């Protein structure tokens, strides 16, 4: 039994005894020590790691962990969890499509704001609340205009990206650069609805080109 197996079993034991935070540490150790060529062990550990992350209140980290496992095997249990929880933006599915749209809009605008700051961070809870309020004010205008009715997710995402919010900057904004997404295997540009080059079986919009939620933008992922 290699060390990753021992850590994995300890993680499962603590998970079964409702100690997810302790279990997470053991699964973290199992991932670090898992042989890179042992795909079956890696997928299994990623699956349980995602379950624990969801239990400790990090659902987006859980989804990203399951996406990683799915890229190794689409038929795995982790792949089934992705299908259950992911929405068309590549984010965690909410109770309604309207909440899915709001989360996508908020994350797109939050990313723009963070990229305009040299620190790439929110400095205080007050700053975070102020930015949330400002983005939500713009969102209410979009909802009132009914401009999203009948639009596909790709069209909505293009609209969200085009919206320019005038943020109160605490330092001079940095110059923006357009990011061009390319599939180096086919040597062509990638559109949102193309199959993801990582071979996950999902669209690029749902996988490697997914929208990063506020959990990931503000705190990073597991």
Residue with tokens 């110059």: 175
- pLDDT band of residue 103 (cuts 50, 70, 90) is very high
* pLDDT over 90 (residue 180): no
Among 80, 56, 54, smallest CA distance to 67 is for 80
One domain, residues 70 and 118: no
Give the other-Cβ count within 10 Å of 199's Cβ: 13
Q: What is the pTM of this model?
A: 0.77
Residue with tokens 């990011």: 179
Query: Residue 196 belongs to what domain range?
Result: 97-219
* pLDDT over 60 (residue 178): no
- pLDDT band of residue 3 (cuts 50, 70, 90) is low
One domain, residues 56 and 24: yes
One domain, residues 16 and 56: yes
One domain, residues 190 and 110: yes
Q: Residue 37: give its domain's CATH number.
A: 1.25.40.10
Beta strands in 136-220 (DSSP E): 182-183, 188-189
Looking at the 3D structure of the chain, how many domains does it have? 2
Tell me the mean pLDDT in the region 164-175: 68
* pLDDT over 70 (residue 174): no
Instruction: Give 73-83 pLDDT, tens digit per residue.
Output: 888 999 999 99
* pLDDT over 70 (residue 184): no
Question: Which pLDDT value is given to residue 111?
Answer: 92
What is the distance of C-alpha 221 from the center of its chain?
A: 8
The token pair at 67 is 């996406």
């Amino acid at each position: 039994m290699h060390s990753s197996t021992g850590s994995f079993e300890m993680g499962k034991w603590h998970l079964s005894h409702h100690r997810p935070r302790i279990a997470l540490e053991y699964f973290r150790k199992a991932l670090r020590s898992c042989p890179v060529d042992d795909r079956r062990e890696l997928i299994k550990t990623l699956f349980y790691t995602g379950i624990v992350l969801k239990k400790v209140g990090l659902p987006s980290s859980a989804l990203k962990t399951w996406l990683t496992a799915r890229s190794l095997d689409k038929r795995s249990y982790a792949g089934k969890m992705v299908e259950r929880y992911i929405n068309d933006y590549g984010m965690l599915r909410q109770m309604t499509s309207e909440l899915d749209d709001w989360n996508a809009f908020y994350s797109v605008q939050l990313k723009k704001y963070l990229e305009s700051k040299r620190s790439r961070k929110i400095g205080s809870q007050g700053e975070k609340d102020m930015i949330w309020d400002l983005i939500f004010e713009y969102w209410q205008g979009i909802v009132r205009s009914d401009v999203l009715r009948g639009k596909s997710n790709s069209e909505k995402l293009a609209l969200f990206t085009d919206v320019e919010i005038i943020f109160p900057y605490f330092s001079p904004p940095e110059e923006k650069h357009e990011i061009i997404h390319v599939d180096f295997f086919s040597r062509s540009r990638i559109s949102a609805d193309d199959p993801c080059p990582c071979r996950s079986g999902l669209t690029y919009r749902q996988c490697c080109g997914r929208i990063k939620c506020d959990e990931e933008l503000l705190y990073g992922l597991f």
